[in-house]
Amino acid sequence: MEVKYDAKDIKLLKDIEAVRRRPSMYVGSTGPRGLHHLVNEVVDNSIDEVLAGYCQNVKVVIHPDNSISVIDDGRGIPVDPHPVYKKSALELVMTSLHAGGKFDNKIYRVAGGLHGVGISVVNALSEHLEAKVRREGKVWRQCYQKGKPVSPVECIGESPRDEEGTEITFKPDRKIFESIEFDWERVTRRLRELAFLNQELRIEVEDLRTDKKKVFKYEGGIRAFVKHLNQNREVLFDEPIYLKGERGPVSLEVAIQYNQSFIQDIFAFVNDINTEEGGTHLSGFKSALTRVINDYVRKEQNKAPNLLGEDVRDGLTAIINMKFPDPQFEGQMKTRLGNSEAKGIVESIVYEDLSRYLEENPSVAKLVVQKTISASRVRQAAQRAREITRKKESFGGGALPGKLAACSEENPERSELFIVEGDSAGGSAKQGRDRRFQAILPLRGKILNVEKTYLVKILNNEEIRSMITAIGTGIKDEFDLSRLRYNKVILMSDADVDGAHIRTLLLTFFYRYMQDLIREGHVYIAQPPLYKVKHGKKNHFLYADRELNTLRKRAGSKKLEIQRYKGLGEMNPDQLWQATMNPDTRTIYKVFIEDVVQADELLTTLMGQEVEPRRRFIEEHALEVANLDI
């Protein structure tokens, strides 16, 4: 039967209803990521007051019922009636999308959240929210439930005229979110970052569920940020290089410190937003850095090598902190700065200030030059290794790795590559797979820890070379996503400690050398079963101990035949297909980067050269281990 479709079928959802109907469109997900995004949205309003110069203190409190309070000493949200909409500005801001004071440059010269949906979305997705405003000697309050006002904006008392600010207390709606349990580490991570970026700011966070309390205030600002990032690395010089400048309404500060690792870590922020996808400001910084060091080397040496960008960034940790009116964000996650004028501003400031610094600090300059020239030699050796590899491939007709079992599907969008731990499991996977769209690449043993070694050694490692060739994109500066041979790259290892270690080594490689493969959503982790349980004539694959306990309670343990899998190699091809590889029945987890700063810290701690930070991490988190093979 034909369904008629006309004008009456077009529905216009009101702001709050639209948010509650499609929450993931506004906060990313209804899981932990979206839940913690609510806190960031409220805090970001306070940070905009910091950027405007009116706020110096922010306090965040996690209450026992998992409600959150965010208190600041800014100007306070206006409460007087709006001249057009005839309702309190507070109610307008709290209940309407795209309502706020950030759409011209009068109230906020620079601001992080430019879309004006933040606080109203938090309100819409909360069971209840209370807004208190201290303004002009009075305290005002309005309460809401699921985004709708349940009381008028009313004066509830007086306060000293010099004590202004806003206090928002909200409890997420448990009918919207999978869980409303806030994680202390996730809450404090962003707050610490904000304190680094705003050195005049004091942030206090308190968890009344556990009596934890922290205060973040960093007099050194982004210099302290760089030191924090390098705390588990051997640095070339103790104090970071600090550059600062202004061009009209744009201000820029940069902190730079080199370490003995082979990794470059550059984190660029615009109005306190982490521009993870880079942009014009990052391009300007890279260009200026390369030019400055090349100019200095040519001045000091007769036969100076021509240093490339990757040479001068080897072992570099840097923070770029830019305050920019009306930034235009682009990219997959809207975190790439697109304003063309930003490149020239950054390039000019960095070139002038860094040139002057190197001239005035020859001892530091000498260390930087030695590091970059050494990196240049390593790069050239790696380039020779690449060329040798390419020649071998050309003699072999450009063949893919011999151990790769390719699939017949030629469209990358419809194909997937399983990187499998061990030849035994690889053999089962090759037999059990669907040959039309599934390719198998078995690895022998554990790959190199790329966090601890230089590129030429990495490229000489057979297992890593096989992965690079099979995936097809190239690595580092040569990475090209358009050459990707498989839409999904799935890591499949045993469900034990060794398997977890192999996964971590692989993820470290992808994060450091093919980060966009993760960022664009192409890396997955397979979930192999822990048990095969036979109950009567039926077989069940179970992926966690709790599933086994549930089955025991429901079926009776005496009637169960339980097989504990120690590794993928114990599974025959049919079992591996059914439990781990069949798209209709398998469980796979997409890998994504939620916080690049946190990811970098974790990899440096777990996989870096320094032993003591790793020991401390293990001691601090030992009680969180759920399964341990002995």
Q: Is residue 48 among the annotated active site residues?
A: no
- Of 216, 242, 262, the last residue of a domain is 216
In terms of domains, do 546 and 481 share one? no
Tell me, yes or no, whether 301 lies in a domain: yes
In terms of domains, do 87 and 206 share one? yes
Q: Is the pLDDT of residue 8 over 60?
A: no
Q: Which of 17, 136, 239, 498 is catalytic?
A: 498
pLDDT at site 115: 41
Q: Is the pLDDT of residue 389 over 70?
A: no
Give the best-scoring range by mean pLDDT among 145-149, 205-209, 463-467, 593-597: 205-209
pLDDT tens-digit readout, 61-73? 999 999 999 999 9
Tell me, yes or no, whether 10 lies in a domain: no
In terms of domains, do 103 and 22 share one? yes
In terms of domains, do 514 and 405 share one? yes
Strands 531-535 and 560-564 come out as antiparallel
pLDDT at site 378: 85
Tell me, yes or no, whether 511 lies in a domain: yes
Q: Which residue has the higher pLDDT, 391 or 426?
A: 426
In terms of domains, do 241 and 287 share one? yes
Q: Is residue 311 among the annotated active site residues?
A: no
Lowest mean pLDDT among 65-69, 159-163, 190-194, 316-320: 159-163
- pTM of model > 0.95: no
pLDDT at site 6: 40
The answer to whether 486 touches 471, Cβ cutoff 8 Å, is yes
Q: Which of 496, 516, 547, 595 is catalytic?
A: 496
- Of 169, 191, 216, the last residue of a domain is 216
The tokens describing 229, both together, are 């990032």
Average pLDDT over residues 84-90: 82
DSSP symbols for 284-337:
HHHHHHHHHHHHHHHHH-TT-----HHHHTTTEEEEEEEE-SS--EETTTT-EE
In terms of domains, do 413 and 351 share one? no
- pLDDT above 90 as % of the chain: 48
Measure the CA–CA gap between 499 and 306, rounded to whole angstroms.
43
State the average pLDDT for the chain.
85
Q: Is the pLDDT of residue 18 over 60?
A: yes
CATH code of the domain covering residue 502: 3.40.50.670
In terms of domains, do 32 and 112 share one? yes
Q: Is residue 73 among the annotated active site residues?
A: no
In terms of domains, do 513 and 551 share one? no
pLDDT at site 5: 37
- Of 159, 191, 216, the last residue of a domain is 216
Tell me, yes or no, whether 8 lies in a domain: no
pLDDT at site 70: 97
Q: Is the pLDDT of residue 52 over 80?
A: yes
pLDDT at site 291: 96
In terms of domains, do 169 and 30 share one? yes
Q: Is the pLDDT of residue 629 over 80?
A: no
Measure the CA–CA gap between 134 and 162, rounded to whole angstroms.
9
pLDDT at site 393: 55
In terms of domains, do 474 and 352 share one? no
CATH code of the domain covering residue 129: 3.30.565.10
CATH code of the domain covering residue 342: 3.30.230.10
DSSP symbols for 78-134:
--SBPTTT-SBHHHHHHHSTT-SS-SSTTT-SS-S--SS-HHHHHHHTEEEEEEEEE
Tell me, yes or no, whether 427 lies in a domain: yes
pLDDT at site 493: 87
Tell me, yes or no, whether 464 lies in a domain: yes
In terms of domains, do 469 and 586 share one? yes
Q: Which of 416, 494, 600, 601 is catalytic?
A: 494
Q: Is the pLDDT of residue 481 over 60?
A: yes
Confidence of residue 226 (pLDDT cuts 50, 70, 90): very high
In terms of domains, do 366 and 436 share one? no
Measure the CA–CA gap between 506 and 467, rounded to whole angstroms.
10
Domain enclosing residue 40, as ranges: 15-216
Q: Which of 48, 314, 421, 463 is catalytic?
A: 421
Nearest to 222 by CA among 249, 256, 174: 256
Lowest mean pLDDT among 244-253, 298-307, 381-390, 569-578: 381-390
Q: Is residue 206 among the annotated active site residues?
A: no
Q: Is the pLDDT of residue 313 over 60?
A: yes
Structural domains of the chain, count: 4
pLDDT tens-digit readout, 133-177? 999 899 999 999 999 999 999 999 998 888 899 999 999 999 999
Measure the CA–CA gap between 365 and 357, rounded to whole angstroms.
8
pLDDT tens-digit readout, 595-625? 777 777 777 777 777 777 777 766 665 555 5
Tell me, yes or no, whether 484 lies in a domain: yes
Average pLDDT over residues 530-550: 78
Tell me, yes or no, whether 381 lies in a domain: no
The answer to whether 440 touches 404, Cβ cutoff 8 Å, is yes
The answer to whether 149 touches 129, Cβ cutoff 8 Å, is no
Measure the CA–CA gap between 311 and 378, rounded to whole angstroms.
9
